[in-house]
Amino acid sequence: MNGPVRVMVVDDQLLVREGLMTLLEAAPDINPVAAAADGEEAVALCARHRPDVVLMDLRMPKLDGVEATRRIRAAQPDTEIVVLTTHADEASILDALQAGARGYLTKDAGIAEISRAIHAAADHLALLDPVVHSRLIAAASSAARPAPPPASLPDDLTRREAEVLSLIARGLSNGEIAATLVVSEATVKTHINHVFAKIGARDRAQAVHYAYTHGLADSA
């Protein structure tokens, strides 16, 4: 995007809020515009300041980060959410992604990684902490499901599209998917575009969530 990314920080701990605002002020091409202490204040300040990206904590009083994310995304679809939290359990990750979060980081992340996630979100791209991505893949791969795709697939997915989706859920790149299915990368990209259009996914993070919740993560 053109110009600095306008960012709002949401965290119920004053020290964390102030520390993040200070770090972001020194980061290149980032302009921290506001800070909120809970989800309710985040929704109100977001409507007033219209930030490009919100750096959102999850566990907060009055209104938690998941519900705040859901409300902000519903009211301001152009504002993206990057979760920054101490919680990296499967339920928290899936709830945040389902609510519309674009990125998910743990508070072990450094300013360089936070900055990358903010810039990625501003460009409407997803960035997940490696630990978070591993948890999603582990959750998907450990679920007890039959190997073949279900006889009836959701959202008019074809069996090949279900295979591609399951490989995305395993964390494979386009090249790795192409090698697994013995097709070209161009063919894989076409399948992925069809899959994303049918399931309404904006990115791989949402595709993984869809595969996991629809029993398709282990179908390939």
Whether residue 65 is found in the same domain as residue 98: yes
Q: How do residues 99-149 score in pLDDT, each as one tens digit?
A: 889 889 988 888 999 999 999 999 988 888 777 777 666 665 554 343 455
Q: Give the CATH number for residue 120.
A: 3.40.50.2300
User: Closest Cα partner for 56 from 4, 95, 25?
Assistant: 95
Query: 111, 136, 161 — which closes off a domain?
Result: 136
Query: 136, 156, 172 — which closes off a domain?
Result: 136
C-alpha distances in Å from residue 146, one per residue of 134, 162, 168, 200, 218: 22, 13, 18, 25, 8
pLDDT on residue 185: 86
Range of the domain at 197: 145-213
Residue 16 is assigned to a structural domain of this protein:
yes
The DSSP secondary structure of 49-73, one letter per residue, reads H--SEEEE-SS-SSS-HHHHHHHHH
Query: 136, 159, 181 — which closes off a domain?
Result: 136
Whether residue 33 is found in the same domain as residue 116: yes
* pTM > 0.85: no
Whether residue 54 is found in the same domain as residue 112: yes
As a whole-number percent, the residues of the chain with pLDDT over 90 amount to 51
Are 36 and 42 a contacting pair, CB within 8 Å?
Answer: yes
Are 91 and 100 a contacting pair, CB within 8 Å?
Answer: no
